[in-house]
Amino acid sequence: MVPSPRVGWITIVGSGEPTLNLGIGWLIHEVKMITDLPVAVITNGSLLYLPWVRDELAQADAVLPSLDAGERDLYIKINRPHPEITFERHVGGLCAFSKQFKGALWLEVMLIGGLNDTKDALMSLSHVIRRIQPDEIHLNLPARPPVETWVRPPEAEGLIRAKAILGKHFVIGFQFGIAENTITEAASGHASLS
């Protein structure tokens, strides 16, 4: 396989959770056998409490798990997890993975207006993220039509607040159309996020 000059990464992501695939480690290995491009895995991170899942993902160059809340009730409201995937189990898995993973750990945070973009929610999230110690935090906004009608992107103030609180301790990356200049312009009143 000859990589295109425009391709920078091979990313494993699915229409479901990629770590449910019992052959995820094999898949990462096989991709790395046919290309020198780095391999990333986008995951909700809910199964990282399982040692075999952490071992399977260890071959990746980057793993992008999600964490959208810093406390149990908000975690349940946003993610609606299976009852066995508790907030504590999810965070414990992220912490364990962070300690053993040698690649880039980029934590994804989906910001939802009025829920996890408040000062209290962001302070709680920041506290938990400090335990995990990711290399970067990637802020995302709801981009596709959500299942729940109450899900909406944060206002400009929520993005500015997220950058201010989470950016104190972590490198912030932006995804899904959020650009650094958009937040700067929003802070000055010259940009719209809708």
Locus of tokens 């899900």: 151
Phi, psi of 87 (to 5 degrees): -60, -45
Q: What is the DSSP letter of 150?
A: T
Question: In the chain, what are the domains?
Answer: 10-187 (3.20.20.70)
pLDDT, one tens digit per residue, over 11-62 is 999 888 999 999 999 999 999 999 999 999 999 999 999 999 999 999 999 9
* Pairwise CA distance, residues 55 & 58, whole Å: 5
139, 162 Cβ separation under 8 angstroms: yes
pLDDT, one tens digit per residue, over 116-157 is 999 999 999 999 999 999 999 999 988 878 888 889 999 999
